[in-house]
Amino acid sequence: MNSVYLDNAATTALRPEVVKRMTQVLNETYGNASSSHSFGRSSKVLLEQCRKDIARYFKVSASEIVFTSGGTEADNLALRSAVRDLGIKEIITSRIEHHAVLHTVEQLEKEYAITLKYVDLDECGRVNYTHLEELLQAADQPLVSLMHVNNEIGNILDLKRVAELCKSYKALFHSDMVQSIGHYQIDLEAISVDFMAASAHKFHGPKGVGFCFIRKESGLKPLIFGGEQERGYRAGTEAIHNIVGMAEALKLAYDNLEVEKQYILELKTYFVEALKKELPKTSFNGRCESQEDSTFTLLNVCLPIAPEKASMLQFQLDLKGIACSRGSACQSGSNQQSHVLTAILDVEQLKQPSVRFSFSIFNTKDDVDYVIDVLKAFTTA
């Protein structure tokens, strides 16, 4: 049986170079970075070098990079601390954010009685920038939280435009960039984002590590108390091997960005063309088939499969060795539908099974051909 992994938006395989580097650190540099002896100093040197290397890619100061356990913690650090410490009274977000943001702001609304507002989206899930400006005009001490690349349908936010709007209305701007870091060049010197979240396992790094960008002199205070690690923002002994693995993965991602981006884009385009040819009634959720409006790393497709068969689709794909994610929960037997697709599709569209296929450098056209054959056979059976 073939084995095809097309769920890279969920997590990616480690690059061999990353595994090698992490193994070396695990074997050789095991001191606590807070210790004053030579073993600790060796770890501290590695830690701070990784911080400097990561900061350089985004044209920020090393002191503005805080290592976390991943994107969810980074989102919580920025959002919860901003409300608690910076006097934020209103958060403006969208209904298609990652749950790391949505559930956090919903909880903040309960705990701190902040005002929570949602910007309008068009039928493809794109932000209505005119409505965003109207919300900012009427807001009292606001923070805007909008993700750069949507993890389900791939929509790309105009970061610079939102940052400029926020600056004009003296609003803070937080962006979950988990799906874009390592895939896009992001200049935080030119784009006035205040807080940003990233996670290593989305760009072929290890799980359990990420970072939060916190613009200097923001006034943010820690969520996790204890030692003085991470300049007091995040207490706890740093996992040096994970941080080194993340820095190595990010270096490889940006060193090879243009070549790998072109390769993955060609793969995605090949998949789109094959779907249109072999399953012509397939529709594309959001604007994911577009090269301009959506990320090159994923497709979210609504397949022409009868509702009575839809419940078996994910199971059949798994049986055939194909790993992907359901976009709508209709085919899974769950009562919980995708909140992203629910926000942009109508009732009839939601009855059709939607699937997210997400790509990496480790995928091939043979993978695509196999998936198309399996989908075609299941659809026509």
List residues with catalytic annotation: 330
Indicate the residue type of 61.
Answer: S
Is 235 exposed, middle or buried (CB count within 10 Å of its CB: 0-12, 13-18, 19+)? middle
Distances (CA, A) of 253 to 57, 181, 197, 198, 209: 11, 9, 17, 14, 16
E strand segments, 124-256: 142-145, 172-176, 195-199, 210-214
What are the C-alpha distances in Å from 125 to residues 18, 50, 348? 35, 36, 17
User: Which positions ≥6 away from 247 have C-beta within 8 Å?
Assistant: 49, 50, 53, 54
Q: Which residue has the tokens 């991602």?
A: 253
The tokens 């070549």 sit on which residue?
Answer: 259
Q: Contact at 8 Å (CB) between 325 and 341?
A: no
C-alpha closest to that of 283 among 339, 223, 341, 221? 341
User: How far apart, in Å, do the first and last CA atoms of the chain sit?
Assistant: 20
